[in-house]
Structure 1
Amino acid sequence: MTRIGVYPGTFDPITLGHMDIIRRGAKLVDRLVVGVTTNPSKSPMFTVEERMASVQREVAEVDGDITVVTFDSLLMDFATREGASMIVRGLRAVADFEYEYQMAGMNQQLNARIETVFLMADVSLQPIASRLVKEIALYGGAIGKFVSPAVEAEVVARVASIGRKGAP
């Protein structure tokens, strides 16, 4: 039986922290499905199509069977559709755990056959959050420590097109 895991997220933009979880998560399953989704509570900098292309480019060199797909449904419906037995989630801090623990409990109520596995982010990557990367970039700060060079270029270009905050 093929073990399939799903790693969902908005990936707006995909960070080195996300990539750490993807690399490590891919070792736990036969196939890892990276699900790029929308989140009604977030204001994305990039369209779903742009985020898909970015994630596909970034995971191309990662070892393992990794596919990238979009979804706009309940996570458990998506995981079931993909044939997943596992949801992979990354944790950065205790605050993440509280939210993720609640979500895992709700997801278990929806489908008890799919387990949620938490991976702690590498210590050097724990502070990285897409939201903070965007904020730093919007105020003209350097983001090269947090994202790949290709993602950095995409974010810098987007900020240039929408205008930097605090700029005259």
Structure 2
Amino acid sequence: MSRIAVVPGSFDPITLGHLDVIERAAGIFDELHVLVVHNPDKAALLPIAQRVSLIQEAIAEAGFGDNILVTSWSVGLLVDYCRDVGATVLVKGIRSQVDVAYETPMAIVNRDLGGVETVFLLPSPAHSHVSSSLVRQVSALGGDVTPYVPPVVARFLQVPGDVE
């Protein structure tokens, strides 16, 4: 039986912390779906298709294994996607107690609604302070985001006219 897991997130944009969690989860599970989802509580910087593309390029540049599929989901519950692909586990990166407080109720509901367990992974300490919102702020103010994002994202964000 294949162990399939899903790493959901808005990934707007993907950070080195996200990549760290993805790489480690890919080493644990036979098949890993990196799922770009719409978060109605956040104002998106990048369209979903652009986020998927950047994640695919970042994973390819990093040389991760071939057991990772990057896709998006915008209709229905996350547990519906898990059921459709046969995933029984969600993997979430946790940076702080704030993330634990935010993620715990969702983990319980996902287990109740679809029998999907949630596994929390801590990022490496070098990336534990990085968030997509921090990257968006630094980028919007003309700062250097290269310490926080994969090279493909840094190149994309530094190209004038690509992001408003």
TM-score interval, smaller chain: over 0.9
- Structure 2 letter corresponding to 1:106: V
TM-score, normalised by the number of residues in structure 2 = 0.93
Unmatched tracts of structure 1, length 5 or more: 163-168
Give the match for residue 105 of structure 1: 108
Separation in 1, partners of 2:159, 2:144: 13
Q: CA RMSD in A?
A: 1.4
**1:91-132, Cα deviation, whole Å (9 max, x unpaired):** 0011000111111011111122x2110001111100000011
Give the match for residue 33 of structure 1: 33
Give the match for residue 86 of structure 1: 89
- Structure 2 letter corresponding to 1:66: I
Deviation at 1:156, TM superposition (A): 2.2
Separation in 1, partners of 2:158, 2:10: 19
Deviation at 1:157, TM superposition (A): 2.5
Picking from 67, 75, 79, the partner of 2:78 is: 75
Separation in 1, partners of 2:82, 2:34: 11
Give the match for residue 46 of structure 2: 46
Residue pair 2:90, 2:119 contacting (<8 A) in 1 also: yes
- Structure 1 letter corresponding to 2:27: K
Q: Which runs of 4+ in 1 moved over 4 A?
A: 158-161
Return closer, same or farther for 1:111/1:160 CA change in 2, 3 Å cut-off.
Answer: closer
Residue pair 1:137, 1:159 contacting (<8 A) in 2 also: no
Separation in 2, partners of 1:161, 1:22: 25
Give the match for residue 3 of structure 1: 3
Percent identical across equivalent pairs? 36
Deviation at 1:28, TM superposition (A): 1.2
Give the match for residue 20 of structure 1: 20
- Structure 2 letter corresponding to 1:77: D
Residue pair 1:30, 1:64 contacting (<8 A) in 2 also: no
**1:21-80, Cα deviation, whole Å (9 max, x unpaired):** 000001111000010111111111111111111011111221240001110131111111
Greater alpha carbon shift after TM alignment, 84-93 vs 150-159: 150-159
Deviation at 1:158, TM superposition (A): 6.0
Give the match for residue 165 of structure 1: none
How many residue pairs align between the two structures? 161
Separation in 2, partners of 1:123, 1:100: 20
TM-score, normalised by the number of residues in structure 1 = 0.91
Deviation at 1:161, TM superposition (A): 4.8
Unmatched tracts of structure 2, length 5 or more: none
- Structure 2 letter corresponding to 1:8: P
Instruction: Give the secondary structure class of the aligned counterpart of 2:158.
Output: helix
- Structure 2 letter corresponding to 1:97: V
